[in-house]
Amino acid sequence: MKIVLASLAVLSIATLTSAAAPHDKHPAMALGPPGPGGLLFVRVTDTKDEALPCARIVLEREEGDEDNVFADTSGETMFFNVPAGDHEITIKAAAHEQVRKTVSIRNVVAETLAVHLDVLSGLRGAKIVMNKAGTATVILSGNRFEYTKEGAVHLTATNTPHTIYR
């Protein structure tokens, strides 16, 4: 009896891994908690297809609840047990425009959503460097700004730090 149960567990994990891994980089993520809902893999990049680490991704569920997560350093995350149906998803990253999309989820099928974010209109043409913590360093007109994933903007001008809140 124990051998049969162990075999079924291995089969379930293998099936979930193959169905849930539209990507090869995070096969362990696909082994998340099994459940009746679908899976949603999200990859966030800029318009040059560079990963946006720590992008904030908010998935609105039908019940009114929200799943609010940050992407990993590769700009990727996965949502598990998403009920079938249409859901609104909002994606934000430091110094980039926010994007809102509708995603359709089907049970037991892994869905992939690739999102490209453009820089804020006032920063186009500026030098922007994203770090793995999700902070964007922007050099504009000789000034250095740091945009955090939380939305704060720090300005360093003549070595005097200031904080500007939006």
CA distance 4 to 28: 24
> What is the number of structural domains in the chain?
2
Same domain, 113 and 39: yes
137 and 112 within one domain = no
Backbone angles phi, psi at 66, to 5 degrees: -125, 140
**Lowest mean pLDDT: which of 5-14, 99-108, 154-163?**
5-14
Which residues constitute the domain of residue 65? 35-117
Looking at the structure, do residues 108 and 132 belong to the same domain, yes or no? Answer: no
Do 98 and 55 share a structural domain? yes
In a domain, 48, yes or no: yes
Read off the pLDDT of each residue in 141-154 and give the average, rounded to a whole number. 85
Angle at 47 between CA 42 and CA 51, to 5 degrees: 45
Q: Both 42 and 101 in a single domain?
A: yes
DSSP 119: B
- CB distance 47 to 118 below 8 Å: yes
Res. 94: pLDDT tops 70: yes
Average pLDDT over residues 97-107: 91
Q: Given pLDDT bands bounded at 50, 70 and 90, which one contains residue 155? A: confident
Please check whether residue 73 lies inside any domain of the structure: yes
- What does DSSP assign to residue 86? E
Instruction: For residue 47, give the CATH number of its domain.
Output: 2.60.40.10
pLDDT class for 31, splitting at 50, 70, 90?
very low
- Give yes or no: residues 43 and 79 share one domain: yes
Domain membership of residue 160 (yes or no) is yes
CA distances from 1 to 4, 9, 12, 55, 166 (A): 5, 13, 17, 46, 61
Residues 60 and 127 in one domain: no
- Residue 12 belongs to some domain of the structure: no
